[in-house]
């Protein structure tokens, strides 16, 4: 799930934290599929998810609400 920077910056702190949790769970599922040998639906999805997580963490940090991993 890709979110644009403007969408991320427009969200509140609580929304960002919820989205971050959701994306982390999604990433765990994707990594589990890869580990079991199942081919993922979209191979680029893992990379896109990681980048979106990084964007959210950057925005959270800039808003002053540091989120520990």
Q: Which structure tokens are listed for 62? A: 């800039």
Q: Where are the alpha helices (DSSP H) in 1-69?
A: 5-10, 13-36, 45-62
Taking the C-alpha atoms of 31, 36, 37 and 41 in order, what is their torsion angle to the nearest 10 degrees?
Answer: -50
Tens-digit pLDDT string for the chain (69 aa): 678 888 888 888 899 999 999 999 999 999 999 899 887 778 899 999 999 999 999 999 988 745 555
Q: Are 27 and 46 in contact (CB under 8 A)?
A: yes
């Amino acid at each position: 799930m890709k979110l644009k920077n403007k969408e991320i910056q427009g969200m509140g702190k609580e929304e960002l934290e919820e989205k971050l949790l959701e994306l982390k769970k999604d990433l765990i599922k994707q990594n589990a599929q890869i580990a079991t040998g199942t081919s993922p639906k979209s191979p680029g999805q893992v990379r896109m998810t990681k980048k979106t997580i990084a964007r959210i963490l950057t925005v959270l940090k800039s808003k002053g609400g540091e989120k520990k991993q």
